[in-house]
Amino acid sequence: MGIVHSCILNVMPDVELAALCEKSAMTRRLLKRVFSGVQIIDDVANMVDFNLDAVYVTTPIVSHYRVVKAVSKENVARNLFVEKTLASNPEEAKELCQLASNSGGVNMVGYLRRFYVTFRKVKDLLSQGVVGQLSSFKAYAYSSDFLGVESDMTASRGGVLRDLGCHAVDLALWFFGDLEVCWTRPASPNSDDTDDSVNFKVKCQDGLDGEFSVSWRAEGYRTPEVGFSIVGSKGVIVVNDDKVELTLQNGKKSVWYRHDLDDNVPFWLALPEYYREDQCFVKSIMDSVTAEPSFLSGSKVDEIIGQVEKRVGGQDS
């Protein structure tokens, strides 16, 4: 993620990539070859001399809290971008929100799927009330990353909820507002492990019911995928990373694919959403406006994940 964001920022107008901070000596040698003229350092404290406007934190989730605190303590920069999830638990997330508020800068969490053209289309449809009063939704986040594989990497990546399911949670908060977990089920009836798979239900404002299914041991998912089925009084919306389907009760049906939704950016690396995401953050800094998803929005995702983990750990069902 650090290399992807650095490459994109390095070609954006009005942006100068000043320094990269990396602990690994091997990676620093690589970075020196790739980013000619950019300072490569090994300690956050050394970044204070660069008079930076913004810092990206793209380290593993477990280190976000201490890295952001170090950036704040050393007064490295007021504006912060942190890859998802914001922190490892709700308590850390709330503290980082307070630090960001005290700094007065722009802050943002890297929930990439808010910048997918398909999910943006759904946000517009919901804002227009196209499917009427909402009654329920089902969300999923699936991958085949660990299908048939026994690996300790599941825990090191923060578990499936933080690594993949967090995107579905963030989108649901964006679409529907605040959520409250009311039911959970782990991978198996005798398990208290949410590292691999978990299902849970939520209650939303206005009586809306939601259900999530998250797994990285799902068959048939060559790449990770997030999707929703949203039911309203006038129709149904079905969406995933690549397509939106709208079916109204009067029989009218509309389908939009990525290429129908102007899925273009000035510089395409990895996915077009990365450019849109970085563009949003940079523009928010230059215009002195709030960026979304902000640390506050990101902390709500950590709160939901914390609720799920607590309920599963307590064998709540």
Q: What is the pLDDT of residue 153?
A: 58
CA distance 259 to 153: 35
161 CB neighbour count, 10 Å cutoff: 26
Per-residue pLDDT tens, the chain, 317 aa: give them. 999 999 999 999 999 999 999 999 999 999 999 998 899 999 998 999 899 999 999 999 999 999 999 999 899 999 999 999 999 999 999 999 999 999 999 999 999 999 999 999 999 999 999 999 999 999 999 999 888 776 565 555 668 999 999 999 999 999 999 999 999 986 544 444 557 899 999 999 888 999 999 999 899 998 999 999 999 999 999 999 999 999 999 999 999 999 999 999 999 999 999 999 999 999 999 999 999 999 999 999 999 999 999 888 765 54
Q: Diameter of the chain by CA atoms?
A: 63
Q: What is the pLDDT of residue 314?
A: 64
Any residues with CB less than 8 A from the CB of 74 and at least 6 apart, and which?
A: 44, 45, 47, 48
Q: What is the pLDDT of residue 188?
A: 47
Do 65 and 90 form a contact (C-beta atoms < 8 A)? no
Q: What is the pLDDT of residue 21?
A: 95
Task: Give just the sign of the alpha carbon dihedral 12, 15, 18, 23.
Answer: negative
SS3 290: coil
Burial of 265 (0-12, 13-18, 19+ CB in 10 A): middle
CA distance 258 to 20: 33
Question: Which residue's structure tokens are 């928010």?
Answer: 284
CA distance 87 to 299: 8
Domains of the chain (ranges; CATH) run 2-111 (3.40.50.720), 113-261+295-313 (3.30.360.10)
Q: What is the pLDDT of residue 250?
A: 92
